[in-house]
């Protein structure tokens, strides 16, 4: 077990308790769903089944994200999902930097550096983590029972 696991679990709980409204009716009020629709739905599909409009053009079919928990014994494998989304520590990245899924950690960090608060605080990594936590929260909510 990684020393990051308790931190990740804590961050997911904190975000779920404070940043995600109890009733998320629209993309504007549901940060995780909004993040999913902008970053993931093109490949994984609106419903998360791996049937997005770009899926046919990919070499490897995108995963069905609604069955992540079922395929992992009933619980969402948060650390593995985090590492796949972030991608910066992935062993799947080749020397030229490619892999099937975008390395969202780099993308999120680059966009965080455009945020005045991140530049002032010197903490763009918190923006990266916030986006990943919101996305994981949304993925947890779309798991099939």
> pLDDT per residue over 34-61, tens digit each?
999 999 999 999 999 999 999 999 988 9
The confidence score (pLDDT) of residue 120 equals: 65
pLDDT tens per residue across span 16-28 = 444 444 444 455 5
Do residues 68 and 76 lie in contact, with contact meaning Cβ atoms separated by under 8 Å?
Answer: yes
Q: What is the pLDDT of residues 84-93, one digit of tens each?
A: 999 998 665 5
Radius of gyration of the chain (CA): 15
Q: What percent of the chain clears pLDDT 70, i.e. is strictly above it?
A: 71
Task: Give 65's DSSP letter.
Answer: G
Residue 28: what pLDDT?
Answer: 53
In three-state secondary structure terms, 102 is coil
Task: Give me the mean pLDDT over the 120-124 stretch.
Answer: 75
Spatial separation of the C-alpha atoms in residues 27 and 33, rounded to whole Å: 6
| pLDDT tens-digit series, residues 60-103 | 899 999 999 999 999 999 999 999 999 998 665 544 455 678 89
Question: What is the arithmetic mean of pLDDT over 124-145?
Answer: 93
> Cα–chain-centroid distance for residue 97?
19
């Amino acid at each position: 077990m990684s020393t990051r696991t308790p931190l990740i679990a804590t961050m997911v709980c904190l975000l779920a308790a404070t940043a995600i409204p109890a009733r998320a009716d629209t993309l504007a009020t549901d940060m995780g769903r909004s993040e999913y629709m902008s970053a993931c739905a093109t490949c994984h599909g609106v419903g998360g089944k791996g049937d997005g409009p770009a899926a046919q053009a990919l070499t490897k079919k995108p995963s069905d994200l609604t069955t992540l928990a079922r395929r992992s014994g009933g619980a969402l494998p948060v650390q593995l999902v985090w590492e796949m989304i972030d991608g910066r520590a992935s062993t799947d990245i080749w020397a030229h930097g490619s892999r099937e899924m975008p390395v969202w950690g780099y993308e999120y960090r680059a966009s965080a550096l455009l945020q005045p608060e991140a530049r002032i605080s010197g903490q763009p990594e918190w923006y990266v983590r916030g986006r990943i936590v919101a996305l994981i929260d949304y993925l947890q909510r779309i798991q099939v029972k």
